[in-house]
Structure 1
Amino acid sequence: MVPTSPSPSPSSSKHDAARAPGYRQLLRTPGVWAFVLPGFAARQPFAMLTMSMVLLVEHTTGSYGTAGSVAAVTGVAMAVCAPRGGRLADRFGQRAVLVPGIALHAASVGALVALALAHAPVWALFAAAVPTGATVPQVGPMVRSRWAVALTGPSAGPSPLMQTAAAFESVTDEFTFVIGPVLATALCAGVHPAAGLIAEATLTLAGGSLFAAQRKTAPRPHHRATGSDARHSSALSVPGVRALVIALLGIGAVFGGMQVPITAFTKEAGHPGLSGIVYGTFAAGNMLAGVAYGAIAWRRSPRRRLLTAYAALMLACAPLWAVQALPLLGGLGLLLGLCIAPALITGYTLVEALVPPATRTEAFTWLTGAVALGQAAAVTAAGLLTDHAGSHAGFTVPLTGTVAAFVVLMGLRGHLVPAPRAMRAAGAIGHRRAVAVD
């Protein structure tokens, strides 16, 4: 599946990549390992955050609804603040945003842990959850922006490796979500209910500092918008970005709509320690599909692939509410993961082609924020339904979210085809002036 070719020299790697897109060529791009490895370390804590928070708050309050709501506040705060952080990173540089952000995040997590263990009122937990979510480091979008810079030069056209890079990032994200929930569950169940969040804050400081130190691979700051960039000063002004935000809201509903019901289902089955493993199986499916998806040279258009993958995801969510056995739930989780990756990867590939370079990081954070917002809404709804009617009721949330998003996405599908000029200017990641994308 992965193309093989002679080892390229630095001066010819981009030309070779154009001829033979694949993971081998991608990872031979000069300089990429300088941000790939620190980026992996820096994003690992995010995969632990929601699960650790749900486990701690449920332990101290006895309510899945409260745990889900506190986690949802964190997700909403992240969704609201992430695009602003991405915009600041585009303007002033990633390090200028990341360094103070990781310090504030660690302090906010510490405050949340202290309040939860002190059995503080729910409103106090909500208050601490706001800065916790608002300061989540947006490492994934920052890494994607670095890929966009690394794969093109000042006069290059759209790189065929951008889809492979999007797939690689999806695989990396999901690998962290294979490890993260398992680690969070093990720490909370085997060490202390607060151990997951404490580890998350510690890893955020360490990994975020390591990533911020990689200054040579960071995109050039765009201190002010000029020309067409001025007309589209926000990535959300591009209609296609708004359509993709809707799509990723639905994907977020799957992520959030699985976490609380899985935790409750395993507890009802008498195996509460397996919740992280079951959710990790779901993430593993996503990771495996991402590996395969990025190794294929697709002939169908990105819009058609997105709509097909989304329809498959919607159908895969349908039987969740009727699951009775833990192994079957693990199998369905694996299937869901296999369906999510193609939609997620195609969305990130499309958005890079739709926006000018000056708003690239912001555009990626809109998608990341949409996932977080969909996850927040879903974890709240699933928590309330699980409290009142059991885990099976909670599993109706992923289906509801994907159906609603798919209907809207079909209506907006006309905005998902980048204009040829936009693909030259925005997709190629290097032109100093980008054209307007409508």
Structure 2
Amino acid sequence: MLTISLVLLVEHTTGSYGTAGSVAAVTGVSMAFCAPRGGRLTDRYGQRAVLLPGVALHAASVTGMVALALAHAPAWALLAAAVPTGATVPQIGPMVRSRWAVALGGQDGALKASAAAFESVTDEFTFVIGPVLATALCTSVHPAAGLAAEALLTLIGGVLFATQRRSAPAPRAAAGGQAVEHASALSSPGLRALAVAFLGIGAVFGGMQVSLTAFTHDIGRPGLNGVLYGIFAAGNMLAGVIYGTVSWHRGPRLRLMASYTALTAACAPLWAAHSAPLLGGLGLVTGLCIAPALITGYTLVDALVPAGARTEAFTWLTGAVALGQAVAVTTAGVLTDHAGSHAGFFVPLAGTALALAVLVGLRGRLVPRPHGVVAAGAIGHRAPVAVD
């Protein structure tokens, strides 16, 4: 809800998609750079210690952003407020995935893949209802209602999640209670390759959000924005359900390359859609191609990153999505302001095409190193991981 609510509120108060996109972009960049640090703190001190103050700070930051926007503050003030708004976004997704690693200790890789698919489905369920809810609140209740709801839901949900202590991974600690320093998860070459792929996926999310918003305004039906984006997210959710029920005989590296190629191809015709039904259909196809790439990428983390740095690794990937989304929101906003809504749809294609080219060149880094297999063994998966 955060990005789309920001875009809708700031565009309403400033009249510029470019400004709205820039504010959303700063929020995404702040999240992208602060999330990994939060992941390291979480691995070191525990989820509860990081999450409780984090959600409180996020709610306060969003409240400040709303106040500035409604007061018609200058663009520089909105951009400044976007920094803490993004920096304090709680990394619930990586925390949940780390809990799955604990819960499935001793289980085989197929069950972990199903768990990753389940997480993707539940994530995408929020992406289905989130844009619809945010758009409805912003267009029917008040332009700031979407952000207000995001802050409230984040605060309540974060506190409730933090109270679930039994499933939380234990903090890293040496004898005597002192935290143990580990190398950053980003030192894994494979994680860096995955981060490039997730940057491209972020470009799809960001480009679609701005471009769909502009398209529905162009046709005089702004309330349709949430529906079209919900269809796009529903495709992602449906693909996650299917992916989790299949017993794959090919390794995750090959699946990642195939799904990413399909995603790039699906983004190619978006710019040519000139009707809502056609754009909805193309968005559905694009969404169907995202979940396999996301799920496979998260699955590869088990084999590529030591267990003690896994929360940080997941935050690098979610941060890469946020960074790609931020760049895409800015670029699509500028293109939309100068060339119309259809120009913004080139952003998902450009982002995935560039990421695919880099991913092909770095595919050798997705082969687990010996320490990656041992790390996977730490949660019960000691057999070598198939990669092709």
- The TM-score, its normalising length taken from structure 2, stands at 0.95
For the pair 1:109 / 2:62, whether they are aligned, the reply is yes
Separation in structure 2 between the aligned mates of residue 419 and residue 130 of structure 1, nearest angstrom: 37
Which residue is equivalent to 1:331?
Answer: 281
Alignment partner, residue 435 of structure 1: none
Question: For the Cα contact (< 8 Å) 1:158–1:428, is it kept in 2?
Answer: no
Is the CA contact (8 Å cut-off) linking 2:172 and 2:180 kept in structure 1? no
Gaps of 5+ in 1: 1-47, 432-438
1:269: which partner in 2?
Answer: 219
Q: How does 1:91-102 map to 2 (within 5 A)?
A: 91-102=44-55
Retained in 1: the 8 A contact 2:91–2:315? yes
Does 2:87 align with 1:134?
Answer: yes
* Residue 207, structure 1, aligned to residue 174, structure 2: no
Identify the residue that residue 385 of structure 2 maps to in structure 1. none
Q: Which residue of 1 aligns with 2:272?
A: 322
Aligned CA distance change for structure 1 residues 430 and 219 (closer, same or farther; 3 Å): farther
For residue 19 of structure 1, what is the aligned residue in structure 2?
none
In the alignment, what sits opposite 2:234? 284
Alignment correspondent of 1:53: 6
Q: Are positions 1:169 and 2:122 aligned together?
A: no
Alignment of 1:257 with 2:210, yes or no, is no
Counterpart Cα distance in 2 of 1:429 and 1:118? 51
For 1:27-426, list aligned pairs within 5 A: 48-152=1-105, 156=106, 158-223=108-173, 233-419=183-369, 422-426=372-376
Point out the more displaced range, 419-428 or 398-407: 419-428
**Residue number in structure 2 paired with 1:24:** none
The residue identity in structure 2 corresponding to 1:392 is H
Distance 1:115 1:377, change over 3 A: same
Equivalents in 2 of 1:414, 1:204: separation in Å? 39
- Counterpart of 2:62, as a letter, is V
1:417/1:121 CA distance change after superposition, 3 Å: same
Partner of 1:272, secondary structure, is coil
Match of 1:45 in 2: none
Using the TM superposition, give the Cα deviation of residue 419 of structure 1 relative to its aligned residue in structure 2, in angstroms: 3.6
SS in 2 for 1:426: helix
Offset of 1:231 from its aligned partner?
9.2
Give the whole-Å Cα distance in 2 for the aligned partners of 1:423 and 1:298: 19
**Does the CA contact (< 8 Å) of 1:157 and 1:428 recur in 2?**
no
Report the Cα distance in structure 2 between the residues aligned to 1:425 and 1:247, rounded to whole angstroms: 22
Matched residue type, 1:103 = A
Task: Please report how far the alpha carbon of residue 429 of structure 1 lies from its aligned counterpart in structure 2 after TM superposition.
Answer: 1.8
Deviation readout 1:1-47 (Å, 9 max, x if unpaired):
xxxxxxxxxxxxxxxxxxxxxxxxxxxxxxxxxxxxxxxxxxxxxxx
- CA shift for structure 1 position 423: 2.3
Q: Which amino acid in the other structure matches residue 54 of structure 1?
A: V
Instruction: Give the letter aligned to residue 65 of structure 1.
Output: G
AA at the equivalent of 1:66: T
* Partner SS, residue 217 of structure 1: coil
Deviations 1:284-309 (A, max 9, x none): 00000000001100001100000000
Note if contact 2:239-2:292 (Cα within 8 Å) is conserved in structure 1: yes
Q: Percent identity?
A: 75
Gaps of 5+ in 2: 382-388
Give the aligned residue type for 1:93. G
Report the CA distance shift for 1:311/1:230 in structure 2 as closer, same or farther (over 3 A): farther
Structure 2 CA distance for aligned equivalents of residues 256 and 193 of structure 1: 20
Query: Residue 354 of structure 1 contacts residue 427 of structure 1 at CA under 8 Å; is this kept in 2?
Result: no
**Residues in 2 aligned to 1:199 and 1:193: alpha-carbon distance in whole angstroms:** 11
Aligned twin of 1:21: none
Question: Which is further off, 231-240 or 173-182?
Answer: 231-240
* Contact preservation (8 Å) 1:151, 1:159: no
Q: Deviations over 1:367-386 (max 9, x none)?
A: 00000000000000000000
TM-score (ref. length: structure 1): 0.84
- Confirm or deny: 8 A CA contact 2:211 2:341 kept in the other structure: yes
Distance 1:230 1:211 in 2: 25
Please tell me the residue identity of whatever aligns with 2:242.
A
Q: Distance in 1 between matches of 2:183 and 2:173?
A: 12
* Cα contact 1:157–1:424 (8 A) shared by 2: no
Number of the residue aligned with 2:386: none
Per the alignment, residue 16 of structure 1 pairs with: none
What displacement does 1:430 show? 5.9
Q: Distance in 1 between matches of 2:58 and 2:189?
A: 32
CA distance in 2, matches of 1:339, 1:303: 16
Query: Are 1:245 and 1:366, in contact at CA under 8 Å, matched by a contact in 2?
Result: yes
- Find the counterpart in structure 2 of residue 4 from structure 1: none
Instruction: Assess if the C-alpha contact under 8 Å between 1:317 and 1:399 holds in 2.
Output: yes
**Separation (CA, whole Å) in 1 of partners of 2:254 and 2:303:** 16
The Cα RMSD (Å) is 1.6
Q: How many residues align?
A: 378
Contact 1:158 1:429 in 2 (8 A): no
State the 1:230 CA deviation: 7.9
Q: Partners in 2 of 1:210 and 1:118 — Cα distance?
A: 33
Q: Deviations over 1:154-186 (max 9, x none)?
A: xx3754311111111111111000000000000
Between 412-421 and 285-294, the greater mean CA deviation after superposition: 412-421
Structure 2 CA distance for aligned equivalents of residues 120 and 421 of structure 1:
52
Distance in 2 of aligned mates of 1:76 and 1:66: 15
Say if 2:22 and 2:329, in contact at 8 Å, map to a contact too: yes
2:143 match: secondary structure: coil
